[in-house]
Amino acid sequence: MRGGHKRAINDLGTPLGGWPFGPLIRGLGGALPWWAMTQLSDENLHWQAKAREVAEDVVRPLAAKYDVAQEYPWEIKDAIAEAGLFGVWIPEAYGGSGKHEWNIRNLVAVVEQLSRACGGVGVLFAVNALGSLPLIVGGTEEQ
């Protein structure tokens, strides 16, 4: 401990600022206090509300249909895309909708709302981040 500050830790007991998010947290000015990691910004709330609207208006009414049919929910995917939800975790500089360098809370807010209506759709959305997050976290401009 330096300066009397405790280091923030996640639910697994791993210090925030440690792998894999160390460079991002340090880039934001060092280890953030625990409460800063739980507050949603206006941007986060905007995407959360948009995702809730899609979840209630499109996902929930169609979820059972796709569960029974065992088919990919193209109609739901299209509604998510039309709402502009794909890429909310990607900074605008790289073609996403995120206003800041690190937008994981946007991703989490959207996944949470979509999952409330249908867990499978939440996963459908979340897996889109699997390929891009490693590039955002550790990629270089050349990549």
At 42, is the pLDDT very low, low, confident or very high (cuts 50, 70, 90)?
confident
pLDDT of 143 reads 75
Does this model's pTM top 0.85? My answer is no
pLDDT at 132: 84
Q: What is the mean pLDDT of residues 95-111?
A: 82
State the alpha helices, DSSP H only, in 12-41: 22-27
Could you read off the pLDDT of 72-97 as tens digits, one per residue? 999 999 999 999 999 898 888 888 88
**Nearest Cα residue to 62 out of 47, 84, 77:** 77
Q: Please tell me the distance from the alpha carbon of residue 125 to that of residue 117, in angstroms, as a whole number.
A: 13
